Amino acid sequence: MGGVLWLYTTYRCARCGSPLVFAESNGRIVLSCRNCGISVWMSESSVRQFNRDGAFMWRELMASLHLAYVVRSALLEGKAL
């Protein structure tokens, strides 16, 4: 993944249980499962909303991405939310 910052998170894929990967590249951030191939992303402009008074709210950002991931994986499975 040349030129991309990525790291494993403590979040797990709802589908397979693999650790989810956080990546930043080309002005957006991504939370994805390397095993299932499911991912969600947020644009740089959307990420800015988590910067409050000079402090970046990482916990809120990650919770938002994870919620989006869980919803997307459930929709792909055909499960009701």
Domain count for the chain, please give it.
1
Is the separation of the CB atoms in 45 and 55 below 8 Å?
no
Going by their DSSP bridges, the two strands 5-12 and 19-25 should be labelled as antiparallel
Give residue 41's domain range: 5-77
Assign 3 a pLDDT band (cuts: 50, 70, 90): low
Quick one: average pLDDT of 65-81? 87
**pLDDT (tens digit per residue) in 12-64:** 998 899 999 999 988 889 999 999 999 999 998 999 999 999 899 999 999 99
Stated pTM of the model? 0.84
**CA-angle at 68, arms to 64 and 71, nearest 5°:** 140
- pLDDT at res. 21: 96
Q: Flag whether pLDDT at 1 surpasses 60.
A: no
* CATH of residue 42: 2.20.25
- pLDDT at res. 81: 58
